[in-house]
Structure formats: structure tokens, C-alpha cells
Amino acid sequence: MSDKLICGIDVGSCKVATIVAVDSEKNNELRIIGFNTTSARGVKKGLIVDIDKVTSTIEESVEKAERMAGHKIKQAFVSVGGPHIASLNSHGVVAVANPQAEINDNDVDRAIEAARAISLSTTRQIIEVSPRDFVVDGQPGIKNPVGMSGVRLEVNTHLITASLTNLKNLERSLQALDIVNSGFVFSGLASAEAVLTDTEKELGAVVVDFGGGKTDICIYAEGALSYSASIPFGARHITNDIAVGLRISLESAERVKLFLSKQFNHKVVKQIKKPETLNVSELQLPENINEISLKELVDGIVMPRLEEIYKFIGEEIVKSGFGEMVPAGLIITGGGALTVGITETGRRVVGLPIRQGVPGRVAGLVDEVLDPQFATTVGLILYGKQNNTIESGSGKNFNQILKNFTIGNSIGKLKDFFKQFIP
Ligand SMILES: Nc1ncnc2c1ncn2[C@@H]1O[C@H](COP(=O)(O)OP(=O)(O)OP(=O)(O)O)[C@@H](O)[C@H]1O
Ligand SMILES: [Mg+2]
């Protein structure tokens, strides 16, 4: 038995967060030993717009996390998200190689490989292949066919694709820092790993990571990941609206927004009308504003933007075709999930139950990371724990497919490591 180091780098629009954890086989826990968050530069709506700035931010964050952990980060799972993410469900069929015996891993691999064979634009890359269910000789709904007897094996898979240019740019940053990419993980999926309960997954639920520059969505239906998307709106839009509405700088607007949610986060908006004004004198804003009308701030600025973003989320749910299969409702996470009025507005606009998702299932230095804004960050190491990594000498050209049937959620996962496009 040996302990394994699992690292994650969450490259967000507002921050780059690095996490180092020990996967201890002895007590089956993931213990965080290093963590850092650094303000992001060079990322907009999940897309890299300035590679040098991104590289230096990752370097700063990684170095600080390494120092805390007392370990060098040689390889890491890396988050990708933003509107360049797309998803589709595909189907693969194979004849079982030895029908006299039982279905084996090799048959499953071939079925998944067949489902992966879709025509894809040269500008896109598959980053996730997640089997939804298997069909053996016409019998659907099978989670793990290995060991069953059958002649014909079919698989329904969920595929997530991303812009190749963006992946290449991220890969360049990592290469410059000598970090091997263990795999790109869709940030919405990583967040789902950190905040979704097994029951919610089984019932059907929508995970919404309301980040700074974008909102990632993952829909689980019948226990399987079934739809992924990302919309180009995030909590920064609320900051912008506050800046414009109150005629203050973006920095002041951000401070007002955080102060507002600190005062009223757990109250419903109806209750916060009691004091008519928000006293912000302790913020000592350079604009010399001491009082802000709550009606103007909450009803006039924050709510309309939240409603708009929830309308887009609602449209994605309808577009997915799984709207009737998500009785567990919305689990909202990401830094924006702390916005005032977030749950009641969501319930009203989308018409589904909703709760805030805080990352969990980890031990160690956890206090700081148990915050919605680190859902993706924590999710990266949980994802890493479930998906085998390979120790690679050079970390290059291992275009190898790995598979791991996880016992807990019984969803077979397949990870493609995208090293082949390193220029
Ligand atoms: N307590 C809070 N109340 C309201 N908003 C908050 C709070 N804490 C963080 N935020 C907002 O959350 C946003 C950052 O969220 P997060 O850290 O999830 O983004 P990110 O991962 O860097 O970006 P993205 O995932 O969009 O690329 C910022 O707009 C910030 O203002
Ligand atoms: Mg994020």
C-alpha cells in the first residue's frame, strides 16, 4: 500500500487555485496538504487571452502550494471551462469477442472506442468520455456489463469537447513550468464531483458552477452525466452592473457586492428590505459613499442580472432534453453562489428546488477550501482519485486511454490524456 500525491490546478477567470492532496489507501481519504489561490490574470470567460500572464499566475500559485505541501508538483489535473465547451451523447456497438465466456474489459473498451468515433472538427478535442449505460443483447440500463454473458454489447456515452486552441495554450503554460498534464477536466464536472451527493446523482440533478466569468452546467440523469454546457455570464457581470449603476469603480463595486452578501447571505431578499439602506462607511470607498439604497442595489441591480443568468440556465436545461429528469433540482456552487438572493431567485426563475453546493469529502487543510468558489479546485483531486493516472517518464506522447469502473457511482469513466498535440 502506498500513498499517492494528487494535484489539481484550477485555472479560473478570477483566480488560479492549486491544490495538493495525499490519497491515502490506508484510510481511503483524500488529505489536502497544500493549497493556494492567486488572483487570475489573462483568462476571460474561461478562455486564455494572455498566455504569459496565465503562465506567471500558475507559476506563482503552484510555487506557493508546493511550499505549503513540501512537495514538488510534477503533474496535475487541470480545469477547463467556458463557452467553448460542448457536449453530445453517442452510441457504440460491438460484437462480444467470446460469447461463450463472459463480457470482459476488452469488450467494454471496444464499445466505448466505437462510441468515441464521431466526426469532430479539427479545431475541437474530446476531453471526457463518460459511459451512461450499457445495453447487453437489447437489455438496457446496465451500469457495468463486465462478467455478464451476451453476444451484442452497446454503450451510451456522454462526450465533452473543448476548443483545441485553448487546450494547446494551457498545455504550453504547463510545459513552460515543467508540469505534466494528468488530464483536462471540465470545470463543471469537477465541481459536480465536489458538491453532488450520490442520491442527487441517482435522482437527477443540475450542477451549476456560477464562476466569475462563466457559468458551467452539468446535468445528471438516471445516475449518469448526460449534458454539459457553459454560458458566458458570471458573477463579474454583477460587479460590472453595480459599478455602472452606482457610478463607482469596479474595485469599489466588488467590495460593495461582497459586503452585501456578507451582511445578508442567509436571508431572503424580502427580509433584507427592513433596513432601507446599507451602511458601507466601514468600506471607506474612495467615492465617499456611506449609504446605498438597498432597493436600488438589490432589486434594481443584482436581481435583474441574476434573473437573466437563471433564464439562460433554464434555457440550457430545456435544450438538454433532460428537464423532466432532474427532480433533485439545482445545486449551485462557484464564487457567485454566495450572491445575495441566489437560491430564492433560482427557485422562482427556473422553478426547481435549489441549494448551495459547498465542496466536501476531503480531509486535512480544509477550512479554507470549504467554500463554493473552490468547488472545481476540490473536485479536481476527487476526480483524480477516481481516474487512474500514469507515471510517465517524459510526460509526453502517452496518448493512452485509461478506464476505471468506480464502485461508488458505478459509472465507468474513460480518460484520454491529450499529450499528442504538444507542438
Ligand atoms: N461572498 C461572496 N458574495 C458574492 N460574490 C462572491 C463572493 N465570493 C466570491 N464571489 C464572486 O465570485 C466570483 C468568483 O468566483 P470563482 O472563484 O468561482 O470564479 P473563477 O473560478 O475564478 O472563474 P470561472 O470559473 O468563471 O472561470 C467573483 O465575481 C466574486 O465576486
Ligand atoms: Mg471556476
Q: Where are the domains of the chain?
A: 86-161
CA distances from 111 to 96, 124, 348 (A): 9, 22, 42
Which atom of ligand 1 is closest in space to residue 235's alpha carbon?
Answer: 29
Indicate if the pLDDT at residue 274 is higher than 90. no
Indicate if ligand 1 lies below 6 Å from the C-beta of 223. no
**How far does Cα 269 stand from its chain's mean position?**
28
Indicate if ligand 1 lies below 6 Å from the C-beta of 339. yes
Indicate if ligand 1 lies below 6 Å from the C-beta of 372. no
Indicate if ligand 1 lies below 6 Å from the C-beta of 13. yes
Indicate if the pLDDT at residue 51 is higher than 50. yes
Indicate if the pLDDT at residue 129 is higher than 70. yes
Residue with cell 432597493: 295
Q: How far is the CA of 358 from the centre of ligand 1 (A)?
A: 13
CB atoms within 10 A of CB 38: 19
Q: What is the pLDDT of residue 400?
A: 31
Q: What angle do CA 241, 244, 249 make, to 5 degrees?
A: 105
Which atom of ligand 1 is closest in space to residue 43's alpha carbon?
Answer: 27
Which atom of ligand 1 is closest in space to residue 372's alpha carbon?
Answer: 18
Q: How far apart are CA 271 and CA 291, in angstroms?
A: 18
Q: What angle do CA 332, 38, 283 make, to 5 degrees?
A: 75
The x, y and z cell numbers of residue 326, run together, are 432532474
Predicted TM-score (pTM) of the model is 0.91
Confidence of residue 269 (pLDDT cuts 50, 70, 90): low
The x, y and z cell numbers of residue 207, run together, are 450542477
Confidence of residue 266 (pLDDT cuts 50, 70, 90): low
- Scored b (16 or more CB within 10 A) or e, 116-155 reads beeeeeeeebbbbbbbbbbbbeeeeebbbbeebebeebbb
Q: Is 378 helix (H, G, I), strand (E, B) or coil?
A: helix
Of 142, 177, 161, 154, the C-alpha closest to 55 is 177
Which residues does 142 contact at the CB level (< 8 Å), separation at least 6? 133, 134, 135, 136, 148
Q: Ligand 1, residues 11, 13, 14: which to mutate, most atoms within 8 A of Cβ?
A: 14
Closest residue by CA, ligand 1 atom 4: 339
Q: How far is the CA of 188 from the centre of ligand 2 (A)?
A: 8
Pair 143, 133: CB distance under 8 Å = yes
Q: What is the pLDDT of residue 2?
A: 73
**How far does Cα 210 stand from its chain's mean position?**
10
Which atom of ligand 1 is closest in space to residue 15's alpha carbon?
Answer: 22
Indicate if ligand 1 lies below 6 Å from the C-beta of 42. no
Indicate if ligand 1 lies below 6 Å from the C-beta of 334. yes
Indicate if the pLDDT at residue 391 is higher than 90. no
Of 217, 165, 222, the C-alpha closest to 191 is 217
Residues 378-394: what's their mean pLDDT?
73
What is the pairing mode between strands 124-136 and 152-163?
A: antiparallel
Q: What is the pLDDT of residues 197-250, one digit of tens each?
A: 999 999 999 999 999 999 999 999 999 999 999 999 999 999 999 999 999 999
Which residues does 224 contact at the CB level (< 8 Å), separation at least 6? 130, 131, 132, 133, 158, 411
Indicate if the pLDDT at residue 270 is higher than 80. no
Q: Ligand 1, residues 217, 231, 369, 373: which to mutate, most atoms within 8 A of Cβ?
A: 373
Q: What is the pLDDT of residue 27?
A: 80
Indicate if ligand 1 lies below 6 Å from the C-beta of 350. no
CB atoms within 10 A of CB 210: 31
Indicate if ligand 1 lies below 6 Å from the C-beta of 57. no
User: Rounded to a whole number, what is the distance in angstroms from the first to the last CA of the chain?
Assistant: 37
Q: How would CATH label the architecture of 86-161?
A: 2-Layer Sandwich (3.30)
Share above pLDDT 70 across residues of the chain, in percent, rounded to a whole number: 89
Confidence of residue 140 (pLDDT cuts 50, 70, 90): very high
Q: How far is the CA of 46 from the centre of ligand 2 (A)?
A: 8
Q: What is the pLDDT of residue 420?
A: 35
Q: What is the pLDDT of residue 384?
A: 96
Mean per-residue pLDDT of the chain: 89
